[in-house]
A and B are shown apart, each in its own frame.
Chain A
Amino acid sequence: MNWDRRAFVKFAVGAVVGLHASPLIPKLMDDSAIWTQNWNWVPTPEDGALAFANTVNPATGTGVKVRMVTGRLKGERLIRVEGNPEHPTSKGGVLPADASALENLYFDDFRVKTPLIFNKDTGMHEAVSWDKALEVVAGKLAELYKAGQAHTVAALGTEAKTLDGELLSRFMAALGSPNLSFNVSAADTLALAGWAMAGEENLGFDLAGANYVISFGTPLLEGFGAPVAVRKAFAGWRKDFKHTGTLVQVEPLASVTASQADQWLGCKPGTEAAVALGLCQVLIQEGLYDRAAAGAVGFEDGDRGPGFKTLLAKNYSPGQVSQISGVPVETLIGVAKAFAKEPKAVAVCGPGGGGEPGRLLDFMAVLALNALKGNFGKPGGVVVRQPLGLKPLGEAINHAGGKPRLDGLGSAKRPVGVADHLSLAKAALSGNPYKVNMALVAGGNPAYSAPQAGVVRDFLRSVPFLVAITPYLDETAVMAQVVLPCGTFLESWGDSLAPYGGAVAEYGLHRPLIKAYEQVKSQGDVILALAAKLGGDVAKALPFASAEAALKTRTAGLGDLAKLAQKSYHVADKPAYGSVSFKTPSGKLEFFSMNLHNLAVKLSGEGGMGKVLKSLGVSAEGTAALMPHYEPPAALAAAGHGRLLLAAVPSLRTPKGDQPLTPYMLKVLDGETLSNKDELVVEMNPQTAASLHLAEHDRVKVTSQAGSSDAIVHLFAGAAPGMVFMPVGLGRFAIANAYTMGRGGNYNQVAEATADPLSGLPVWSLTPVAVTKA
C-alpha cells in the first residue's frame, strides 16, 4: 500500500464522510440556531414573585396599580403601571402617560441621579453630595436673607394646594419672599367664576350622573380634569351599544371629542361663550328655564341697569349668535330645547386644547346656562364638592408682607386671580420694582411648559442663581446652577387633589414603592432638608422630620397614614347633591356678580368703575360688564389679512408639559402629529391652505409675536377655515436621549399669552400667526 495521492484522497473522503456521519454538523447547526434564540444582547427579564401596590399618578389623577416582580437574584423591580379597578373614579382605566410612567422612572437618560452643581469652567454639571449641594443653596439663601434681599428670591412651584405646594409656600413666606408662582389651570378660572356667581370656589360637573352634556370648547375626552374619570363617564353614556347619554361639542375643530359627540357645533374660534349665551336666550324665549333662576341677582332689570334677561334678548338672539359663531339658528334652538328637555343635562366649560386655563367670562356664561337649567346641586348638574378635611401644617410664619409682589397680584393692576409663572417672569425681566437674585423651581419644568415658554426661559436664564428640584434633567434643570434630584411619584411621598371638574371630593396619595436611584428624595424632603439647613424661622415653619411626617399631620382627619397610603386615595362616595347655599354677598345666585362689583368699587369708588373694568380688559359697559357676556378674544381682531389663528390640538398621547415625553408615548403619535422622524405636523383646512398656496406636506414656518416653529402641513377638512392647529407636548430639546429629544416643536413657544379680562390669568388658546412656506 502506497501512501500516494490516490490513497490520501480515499482517506480524506473517508474522513469527510466519517465526520459527516458524526453528530458534529447537525449539532453545530442546531446550536447555531439556538444561539440566535438566545443572543446575549437581547435581555432576559428575571422572573419572580409578583406583587401589586396602589398609588395615584398626580400628573393624570389616575388611580393606578403598580405591578412589581421580586427576582431571587436581582431583587425588586416595577414592571408595569396598570389601572386600579377599585379606584372610584378611574375604575381601572389608564392613560398612555400612566402606562408609560415606568419609562420616566427607569430611563437613565431622563433622570437626575445625584445632586448636581454647574461648573462654569467646564460648562458641565458635576455630581456632588447632598450635604454639599444643600450647603451651597442654603448658603446663597442665607446670604440674600442677611442682606435684606430675601424678597428677591422667587419660587416656581407646580400646584399650590398639594403638600409640595404648601411646603414651598410656607418656606417662601418664612423666608420673606412674596414671589411665588404656580402652574395655572382651568381650576383657577372655574374657582373665580364660581366665586363670582355662586360664592363657591369648589365646583364640579356631575358628568357621570348626567345624560346630556354640552361641552364648550374644552377637550372633554382628551385632557379634561382626570381624563380617565371623564372617559369612564363617557363610557356610561355609551353603555353596551346603547346611547344612554348625549354629548354635544362646541368647538372649531373636528377633534376626537367633536367626532365622538352625538352632535358637533363647529363654531368660529373663540365664540363658544356666545353659543352658550345664545342657548340661554333660547331657554328664556321659549320659557324653558328654571323659574328659581329668575330670583337670582341681576336676572331682571334693576336699579343698576338692565338685567341678564334683557341683555340676552338684546345681544344674543339666535340670529345674532349665529352671526357671531357661524352655528345655524335651527341648530341653536334644537340644542337648547334638547338641553331643556333632558332632566339631567349639564353645560361644561374647561381647559383649552393646550391646557389653557380658559376665559373667566366664558366660564361665567356656561355657569349661567347651568343656572337657567336649575342645575346647581342637582344630580347630573353642577355640584359643590365636599371639603376634604385636610389639616393645616401648623401656624404659618409670614415675613413676606413687607415687599410688593413682582407680578402685582392683589393690586389694582390685577385684583383677582392667582400667581402664574409668566406674569412673574415678565415682571422680573423688567426689573421693576426690583430684580430677582435667586429662583427656586420645584417639581415643574416652566422653561418648557409655561405659557410663552420663551419668556419664562429668558427669565430663568437671567436669574443669577437658579435651583431646580426635579426628577429630570429637563429644559429648566439644564440652566440651573444647582440641581437637586427628587423622585417621580413612584419613589416619593406626595399627594394630589381633586382633578378639575370632578364632582366628588378626591384626594390621592403616593408613596415610595421602589428606590430606583440611591440619592433621590421626595420633593417635600428636599424642601424640608433645605429648611433645616437654613435654620431660623424657615426651619420653625417647617418642623417636620420628613415629607411622610408632614403628610401624617395633613391627613390626620383621613385616618391612619399607612393605611391611607396602602389604599392610595380618599374619594367621597357620591357628589353632594341637594340645594346649594350660595355664599355670595346676596346669599343667592348672582348673574350680576356682587363679589366682582364690590371689588371694582373697592378699587375705584363708584365713579371710576367703568375705567377700572376697561383697564382689566372688559369692553362691555354698564351692568353687562359684570355679568356673563361674550368678549371677542383679542386674537380675533389681529387675525385675517393673511394671518391665521393658532390653536392647540388636544391629545392624551402627549404628556402634560412638566412630564418628559416618554418613548412609548412618542411611539403612539401618528403621522398627523409627528412625521419624518422629527417634524411637527400642523393641521389646516384645505381651503385655507390653498389660499396660502400650501399643499399637503409642505414645510412651513408658523410665526407669532411670541416665537416660531417649523412644521409640515397636513390638510384636514375638519379644521375650521382660517385656523392652524398644532399638537402640544413636543419640541423637547433638553433631555439628551435618542428617542424624544428634538422631535417636533413646542406649542408653548409659539402661542402668545394675553391677560384674560377680569381674571388677569394668561390665556393662550388663540394666537394670530403667519404661516409661511419654509
Chain B
Amino acid sequence: MDDSKFWPQGVTRCKPGAFIAWMLVCLGLGGWAMLSAFLCIYKGLNQTNMNDFFAFGVWIVVDLAIIALGAGAFFTGFMTYVLRRDELKNIINAAVIIGFICYSGAILMLGIDIGQPARGWFGFWHANVHSMLTEVMFCITTYLIVLIVEFVPLVLENRQISKVPDLSFFAHNLHRIMIVFAATGTFLSFFHQGSLGGMYGVLYARPFAYRTGIVIWPWTFFLFILSAIASGPSFTTLIVMLTEKVSGRKLTSHKVKMMMGKVSAYLLSFYLVLKIADTLYWANVTLPKMGVTFGELYGGGPYGTYLVWMELGLFGVLPALLLLQRRVRESYGLLALAMVLNCCGAVMNRFVMTIQPLAIPVLPFEKFVGYLPSWQEWGISAGVIAYGLIIFSLAYRYLPIFPQEVELNKG
C-alpha cells in the first residue's frame, strides 16, 4: 500500500504500516469514547460520577482547557493576517487545525454533557441573552464555522485534490479573503473566551467564582481572554514541536517558535499582573463582604492553598520569567519546558475555576463532598484527545501545512 502520492509535494512521511498502527491506537481510544458516549446518551448522565453538588465535572474542565489552548488559532491568525506578521504564516496552518480540533472537540463533548442533546439547539432558538453561556454557545459555534472556512482551503491544498481546477480556484480565493475570517474569528473568540470566564465570574452566589467587574463583565471575562491568548500560542508551538519530535523532521524555523514564545511571554506577564491583582482584591475585598475568607475557600478537602502557588507560581510566574529570557527562548528544550508550564497554568486555572467553586459548599451547614470522574467520563475526555490526534496526524501526513518543511529538511 502506497499513499505517497497524497503526501505534500517534496516531503516524506512514515511508512503506511506505522501510520496505520498509530491510527489504530487512536481509534482504540475513540472506541472507548464511543462506548462511553453511547452509554451516556442511552442511559443518561447517571453513567458519570457528577451529581447535584458537582453539576460540572471533568468534561467541563477539558472543554474549557482545550478552548483556551485552542486560542492559538485565532490569536496567531490575528497576528498573521491583521497585524501582518508574515513570519507566522509558517505556523498559522497548524494553529488553525489545532483550533479546529479544540473547538469541534469541545462542541462534541458538550453535546454529550447536556442532559437533553436533542434539545441542544434550544440554546440558539430560545436564547437567553443575559446568559454568558448563550454568548459562549453562539460564539463557539460561529467561530467553529469560521475555523471550518479557514480549514477548508488547507484540505483543498492536498496534492491530489488541488488538481481539480475548480477546487483549487475556490481555495485560492478563500485564502485571499482570509483576513476577513481572521478578523471575524478574533472578534468572536475574544467574546467567547471572555464569556467562558464570565460564566463563572457572574455566579454571585458562589463566592469562590464571583468577581466584581465593569458593566456586565466580571474581571474573569478579561482574565480568561488573556490567559487563553497567553497559552494558545504556546500550545500551538508545543504541538508543532511534538510533531517534530515524533516525525523527526524540522517543520518550522526556530525563529518562528521563538516569536510565538515571545508573544506568550508578554501576554502571560500581563495576564499574571492582572490575575494577581484580581486575586488580591478578591481575597481582601470581595470575599470578606460575603463573610468568607480566602483560607476557608482553599481549605476544603484536597483543595488547599498549594493550588494557588501552583497555578500562579509554578505554572504562572515561572514560565513567564523563563519565556521573557531570550536565552531560554533560544534553547529548544527550555522553550518547550516553559511552554508546557504555561499550558499547565491555563489548564489548572480552568480546573480551579470550574470544579472548586462547586466543591466548596456555600451554606455553612453543608459538608464538602468528593468527586472522581467515572470511566465513562474519562473515556469521553480521552476520546477528544484521540480525535485531535487523528485529525492532526491526518492533516500532517496529507496536507502541506508547514511551508518551511521542504526547505528545512533539505540535505
Point out residues on A near B: beta carbons under 8 Å. Answer: 29, 32-33, 35-36
Contacts and interface: CB of A to CB of B under 8 A. Distances in A.
B116 interface: yes
Interface pairs A-B: 7 shortest CB-CB? A32-B118, A33-B119, A36-B118, A33-B118, A36-B116, A29-B121, A36-B119
Given A29-B118, A36-B116, 10 more contacts: A29-B121, A32-B118, A33-B116, A33-B118, A33-B119, A33-B121, A33-B122, A35-B118, A36-B118, A36-B119
A646 to B, nearest CB: 27
Contacts of B116: 33, 36
Interface string B113-148: 000101101100000000000000000000000000
A739 to B, nearest CB: 17
A227 to B, nearest CB: 26
12 contacts: A29-B118, A29-B121, A32-B118, A33-B116, A33-B118, A33-B119, A33-B121, A33-B122, A35-B118, A36-B116, A36-B118, A36-B119
Contacts of A36: 116, 118-119
A32 B118 CA distance: 6
Interface centre among A29, A32, A33, A35 (most CB of B within 10 A): A33
A29 B118 CA distance: 7
Nearest to A6: B166
Interface centre among B118, B121, B122 (most CB of A within 10 A): B118
Nearest to B117: A36
Nearest to B166: A6
B65 to A, nearest CB: 30
A575 to B, nearest CB: 41
B237 to A, nearest CB: 39
Nearest to A37: B119
Contacts of A33: 116, 118-119, 121-122
B365 to A, nearest CB: 12
Interface string B89-132: 00000000000000000000000000010110110000000000
A35 B116 CA distance: 11
Contacts of B118: 29, 32-33, 35-36
B315 to A, nearest CB: 36
Contacts of B121: 29, 33
Nearest to A9: B166
A33 B116 CA distance: 8
A206 to B, nearest CB: 37
A32 B122 CA distance: 12
A29 B121 CA distance: 9
Contacts of A32: 118
A744 B105 CA distance: 46
A29 B119 CA distance: 8
A35 B122 CA distance: 14
A36 B122 CA distance: 13
A35 B117 CA distance: 12
Contacts of B119: 33, 36
B69 to A, nearest CB: 31
A41 to B, nearest CB: 12
B137 to A, nearest CB: 16
A33 B122 CA distance: 9
Interface in B309-341: none
A672 to B, nearest CB: 12
Nearest to B122: A33
B170 to A, nearest CB: 13
Interface in B344-399: none
Nearest to B119: A33
A10 to B, nearest CB: 11
B271 to A, nearest CB: 40
B5 to A, nearest CB: 20
A79 B134 CA distance: 40
Contacts of B122: 33
Nearest to A671: B367
Nearest to A32: B118
A757 to B, nearest CB: 44
B373 to A, nearest CB: 21
B375 to A, nearest CB: 21
A65 B43 CA distance: 39
B41 to A, nearest CB: 11
Contacts of A29: 118, 121
Nearest to B367: A671
A36 B120 CA distance: 12
A486 to B, nearest CB: 39
A29 B116 CA distance: 13
A202 B199 CA distance: 67
A35 B118 CA distance: 9
A729 B116 CA distance: 39
Nearest to A29: B121
A354 to B, nearest CB: 28
A512 to B, nearest CB: 41
A738 to B, nearest CB: 15
A33 B124 CA distance: 14
A60 B289 CA distance: 48
A29 B123 CA distance: 13
A682 B118 CA distance: 46
A313 B91 CA distance: 100
Nearest to A35: B118
Nearest to B121: A29
A32 B116 CA distance: 11
A310 B119 CA distance: 82
A38 to B, nearest CB: 12
B369 to A, nearest CB: 11
A29 B117 CA distance: 11
B50 to A, nearest CB: 19
A723 B331 CA distance: 70
Nearest to B164: A6
A589 to B, nearest CB: 49
Nearest to A31: B118
A399 B116 CA distance: 71
Interface in B216-230: none
Contacts of A35: 118
Nearest to A33: B119
A35 B121 CA distance: 14
A724 B326 CA distance: 70
B169 to A, nearest CB: 14
A36 B116 CA distance: 8
Interface in B288-315: none
A685 B224 CA distance: 49
A36 B118 CA distance: 7
B367 to A, nearest CB: 9
A32 B119 CA distance: 8
A209 to B, nearest CB: 36
Interface in B171-194: none
Nearest to A36: B118
A36 B114 CA distance: 13
A33 B121 CA distance: 9
B42 to A, nearest CB: 13
A177 B376 CA distance: 66
B309 to A, nearest CB: 31
B161 to A, nearest CB: 14
A40 to B, nearest CB: 15
A9 to B, nearest CB: 10
A708 B69 CA distance: 59
A35 B119 CA distance: 10
B368 to A, nearest CB: 14
A621 B119 CA distance: 81
Nearest to B116: A36
A25 to B, nearest CB: 11
A29 B122 CA distance: 10
B118 to A, nearest CB: 5
